[in-house]
Chains A and B, each alone.
Chain A
């Protein structure tokens, strides 16, 4: 019997929908608590681990000839803000990290260590968005255990990220730090840290989406503490250098981790969140000598430019299914990259405005086509 890839992945989306529906009932009767969520997460973990091998195989086949984007730097897609339109606009296949696995850690920690009301509220948003995807956009977006597919040994990965972070830290201060403790011994305040940092890095370092370059490190970090979920609880009783390291590590390790995962699975990160993107820009020059990574990052940048340059209005009052079908076989990404090549644009050294123009010109065609 002939099957067509990704037949299993598609079937798993339907099975996953059933699992979530079962738990919708549990949540209705037992309530949404840290405990019921943790029990739900056990089922989710088991569900994916059981299917991991065949998913990996199918994904490998899929990525061999297709551009497969994965949403990174965000927990969930957020259908209500037309994000599915944006995501669907470039590339052949669109993958999502299982959002529940991304927030698992919150529910595995002691309840008193996090703001439980806020965390449960967030879980609710993730749950609704996931149901929405599985109900209305199943097989348009594939929810997959992306991390479990690519990271076999979490401890090893953690060590690797730690080493990379220390290198990043040392190069940002033009100074050799032997460990994070070593860093904490050398500075006491945000101001000392800011003064010791290389001016270029200090200027580019952001912790909040609307941080401006002339803000002080203290301002940026204090705003960060107040806006990030559970950060205040985490930062309690931490020294200023420790707070700086926690905040910086979370962003630097996130982008590094994304690159490692995507490289391993031959998928391309779709980054829409400004801070994540800025950290990509901060670290990307270390990697672009490698042709594969260069191409991956180039596509990520193009997608980001598209996301920022495209007004949501073009999607409003539009049926997603029609848009999705229309854009499906247009090779938009390849066309954009071809034009960039024709115009000899090296995105790593500028030309953002030109790329923006190319993208708008390209999408103008499809606007007419509808």
Chain B
């Protein structure tokens, strides 16, 4: 997989064993000093009015006009600390009047008209007196506003950097921002930015300088009006519709019928040719039984077309776990001959605990836990009074350690862990499988619950098949099978 240059490698992270955290280099060094502030969510709505000017007039004319507006405001409206819209609306009616007169003298009134959709006459009468144009339909204004939001939402785009530059220029006009003489690059960026085209090589230095300056300055602002931005997102979000986008994955068309049939035949052969072991040997029970269990899951996956489903992930995870545990048991039996029986008893002891609890509860007739059956199974190997309940991992090792010993760490790292998220319903899995992307910038590209099951998942059948192949070779490595069976595996 291609490496991303903008993020750190696993080896660059730092492990804090006691806290159980693998920390990023940035968090590791600055955790206490970091205050995260999002441009899109927390600042963009404040400057959108300037963005509308840029959008309407284009970069060159827009920067020139917006610059003039900000310069005039800095001279005539002394109570405005920053060109944030919340601060503009916080001015007295008289100051607002002065400010809007400046704006409407330099730019066409219809430029800011889209904002009247959100800042409406009952609450913002002065703004509406200036910029509400009845002929500009409500839906058209929303449409225009959406376009602007889409353009300025991303923090690092060229257009957004222009906007962030404008917010800084007001500070320079009003003498609130001074740059130390030695910072030549910053001074150059501020001076040259509006006159340099984005295609110019120099902008590769200027843009980050502008963005970091704006970001840094915004952190020092005392009057951050988060409620204003929150309300902005609520209002624009409520009046626009979600645009759900789901990803469609192709279904793996292989049925694996021949492979399954061959696998079944192999198991059948092994069972018949090892009947004696099947009658008396725990090892045989565990190996053949567990592999049969894995095969049944694989058959369900293929026959019921579960490859693209959440349950498909549950299935492949179990198949992988069976492979890891069998390889682990095989390694450990050298030093512990009883490990196969212990393994069976471990599993049964888990059943016993549930049974004990069930005996103290009234179960519904419809419950899928049937005490009568479980009772029989628990007492199958030995009387339950001689079975302790083991609350720990089998053999005291977790599945990760077992995978290392079984030489299947990669399978654990990539697939077992990933599919465990689905089995436990962790957020990553929920987000991937049960939520779809909303392609509406006004909704901050949030995720929508996929109640109609439109979102599919990549097919797990190929990975399940590879693991089943490993199980088959493990099986035929332990028990002899005829050459015809060994060579006959194919997929279709």
A108 touches B239 (CB 8 A): no
Answer whether residue A45 sits at the interface, using C-beta atoms and an 8 A cutoff: yes
A39 touches B139 (CB 8 A): no
Q: Which chain A residues border B135 with CB–CB below 8 Å? A: 108-110
Total interface residues on B, using CB and 8 Å? 17
* Chain B residues with CB under 8 A of A35: 134
Q: Chain B nearest CB: distance from A147 CB in Å?
A: 11
Contact check, A42 vs B239: say whether CB atoms are below 8 A apart. no
Q: Are A108 and B117 closer than 8 Å at their CB atoms?
A: no
Q: Is there contact, CB below 8 Å, between A39 and B121? A: yes
In the bound complex, do residue A22 and residue B117 qualify as a contact, i.e. CB atoms below 8 Å apart? no
Chain A residues numbered 98-129 whose CB sits less than 8 Å from any CB in chain B: 107-110
Residue from the set B116, B134, B135, B137 with the largest chain A CB neighbour count within 10 Å: B134
Once A49-B238, A50-B239 are accepted as A-B contacts, the answer to whether A41 and B138 lie under 8 Å apart by CB is yes
Query: Closest approach, in angstroms, between the C-beta of B463 and any C-beta of chain A?
Result: 39
State whether A46 and B134 are in contact (beta carbons under 8 Å apart), knowing that A26-B122, A39-B128, A154-B139 are contacts in the complex. Answer: no
Report the bound CA distance from A258 to B2 in whole Å. 56
B residues 121-149 in Cβ contact with A at 8 Å: 121-122, 128, 132, 134-135, 137-139
A218 to B137, CA, bound (A): 35
Q: How far is the CA of A53 from the CA of B134 in the complex (A)?
A: 26
Asked if residues B239 and A46 are in contact (CB atoms below 8 Å), the reply is yes
**A38 near B: Cβ within 8 Å?**
yes
Within 8 Å CB of B116, what residues of A?
42
A167 to chain B, nearest CB (A): 28
> In whole angstroms, what is the CA distance A43 to B235 when docked?
12
**Complex CA–CA separation, A50 to B120 (angstroms):** 14
Contact A22 B134, beta carbon cutoff 8 Å: no
| Chain B residues with CB under 8 A of A34 | 134
B414 vs chain A, min Cβ distance (A): 40
Of all chain B residues, the one with the shortest Cβ separation from A53 is: B241
If A43-B122, A45-B138, A46-B120 touch, does A38 touch B132 (CB 8 Å cutoff)? yes
Q: Contact at B132–A43, with CB atoms within 8 Å?
A: no
A41 to B139, CA, bound (A): 12
Q: Hey, which chain B residues are within 8 Å of A53, CB to CB? A: 241
Interface 1/0 per residue, B239-257 and A, CB below 8 Å: 1110000000000000000
Please report the C-alpha to C-alpha distance between residue A35 and residue B116 in the assembled complex, in whole angstroms. 14
Chain B min CB distance to A272 (Å): 29
A152 to B134, CA, bound (A): 22
* Residues on the A chain within 8 Å of B137, using CB: 108
Interface of A, secondary structure class, is helix
In the complex the two chains form, is B117's CB within 8 Å of A42's CB?
yes
**Number of interchain pairs (Cβ within 8 Å):** 45
Q: Which residues of B contact A43 (CB under 8 A)?
A: 120-122
Which residues does chain B contribute within 8 Å of A22, judged by CB atoms?
A: 122
Q: Are the C-beta atoms of B138 and A50 separated by less than 8 Å?
A: no
A21-64 CB mask vs B (1 if < 8 Å, else 0) is 01000100000001100110111011001101100000000000
Cα–Cα, bound, A42→B137 (Å): 9
Q: What 1/0 mask marks residues of chain B from 468 to 489 whose CB sits below 8 Å from any chain A CB?
A: 0000000000000000000000
Nearest CB of A to B294, in Å:
44
Q: How far is the CA of A38 from the CA of B129 in the complex (A)?
A: 12
B132 and A39: CB pair below 8 A?
yes
CA distance A87 to B132 in the complex (A): 38
Q: Which of B122, B132, B241 has the most CB of A within 10 A?
A: B122
- Measured CB to CB, the nearest residue on chain B to A49 is B239
In the bound assembly, the distance between CA atoms of A311 and B239 in angstroms comes to 44
Is A38 touching B120 in the complex (CB atoms < 8 A)? Answer: no
Contacts of A46 in B (CB 8 A): 117, 120, 138, 235, 239
Nearest opposing residue in chain A for B132, CB measure: A39
**Chain B residue at minimal CB-CB distance from A109:** B135
| A42→B117 CA distance, assembly (Å) | 7
Question: Contact flags (1/0) for A145-166 with B, using CB distance below 8 Å?
Answer: 0000000101000000000000
In the complex the two chains form, is A42's CB within 8 Å of B121's CB? yes
CA A46 – CA B128 in complex, angstroms? 15
Which listed residue, B134, B139, B238, touches A38 by the CB 8 Å rule?
B134
Chain B hits for A39, CB < 8 A: 120-121, 128, 132, 134
Within 8 Å CB of A38, what residues of B? Answer: 132, 134
Q: Which of B76-100 contact A (CB under 8 A)?
A: none
A34 to B133, CA, bound (A): 11
CB distance from A206 to the nearest CB of B (A): 32
Query: Shortest beta-carbon distance, A105 to chain B, in Å?
Result: 9
How close is A148's CB to chain B, nearest CB, in angstroms? 9
**Distance of B236 from chain A, by nearest CB (Å):** 10
Residues from chain B with a CB closer than 8 A to the CB of A110 are 135
A50-89 interface code vs B (CB 8 A; 1 in, 0 out): 1011000000000000000000000000000000000000
Chain B 377-420 per-residue mask, 1 if CB under 8 angstroms from chain A, else 0: 00000000000000000000000000000000000000000000
Q: For residue B237, which residue of chain A has the nearest CB? A: A50
Please give, as numbers and ranges, the residues of chain B lying within 8 Å of A45 by CB-CB distance.
Answer: 138-139
B139 to chain A: closest residue by CB: A154
The docked-state distance in angstroms from the alpha carbon of A41 to that of B116 is 12
**Are A108 and B134 in contact (CB-based, < 8 A)?**
yes
Please judge, given known A-B contacts A49-B239, A50-B238, A50-B239, whether A42 and B139 are in contact too, CB under 8 Å. no
Of A35, A39, A41, A52, the most chain B CB neighbours within 10 A belong to: A39
How close is B52's CB to chain A, nearest CB, in angstroms?
17
Would you give the shortest CB distance from B132 to chain A, in whole angstroms? 6
Complex CA gap A268/B239 in Å reads 27
Complex Cα–Cα for A34 and B235 (A): 26
A22-B122, A108-B137, A154-B139 are contacts. A42–B238 as well, Cβ < 8 Å? no
**Docked pose: A107 CA to B135 CA in angstroms:** 8
Bound-state CA distance A38–B117 (Å) is 12
Cβ distance A45 to chain B, nearest Cβ, rounded Å? 4
Contact string against B for A residues 133-155, beta-carbon threshold 8 Å, 1 for contact and 0 otherwise: 00000000000000000001010
Considering the chains assembled together, what is the distance between the CA atoms of A26 and B138 in angstroms? 20
Interface string of B206-247 (1 = CB under 8 A from A): 000000000000000000000000000001001111000000
CB-defined contacts of B138 to chain A, threshold 8 Å: 41-42, 45-46
CA distance A22 to B240 in the complex (A): 25
B443 to chain A, nearest CB (A): 12
B132 proximity list for chain A (CB < 8 A) = 38-39, 42
Say how far A103's CB is from chain B's closest CB, in angstroms: 13
Q: How far is the CA of A41 from the CA of B138 in the complex (A)?
A: 9
- Residues in B with CB closer than 8 Å to A42 are 116-117, 120-121, 132, 138
- Which residues on A sit within 8 Å (CB–CB) of B128? 39
A 284-334 contacts with B by CB, 8 A: none
Residue pair A107, B117 in contact (C-beta under 8 Å): no
Cα–Cα distance between A109 and B240 once the two chains are bound (Å): 24
CA distance A272 to B139 in the complex (A): 31
Q: Which residues of B contact A109 (CB under 8 A)?
A: 135
12 contacts between A and B (CB under 8 A): A22-B122, A34-B134, A35-B134, A38-B132, A42-B116, A42-B117, A42-B121, A42-B138, A43-B121, A46-B239, A49-B240, A108-B134
Given contacts A22-B122, A42-B121, A154-B139, 19 further A-B contacts (CB under 8 A): A26-B122, A34-B134, A35-B134, A38-B132, A39-B121, A39-B132, A39-B134, A42-B116, A42-B120, A42-B132, A43-B120, A43-B122, A45-B138, A45-B139, A46-B138, A46-B235, A46-B239, A50-B235, A50-B239
Q: Which 9 A-B pairs have the closest CB atoms?
A: A38-B134, A49-B239, A39-B121, A50-B238, A45-B138, A50-B239, A42-B120, A108-B134, A43-B120
Footprint of A on B, CB under 8 Å? 116-117, 120-122, 128, 132, 134-135, 137-139, 235, 238-241
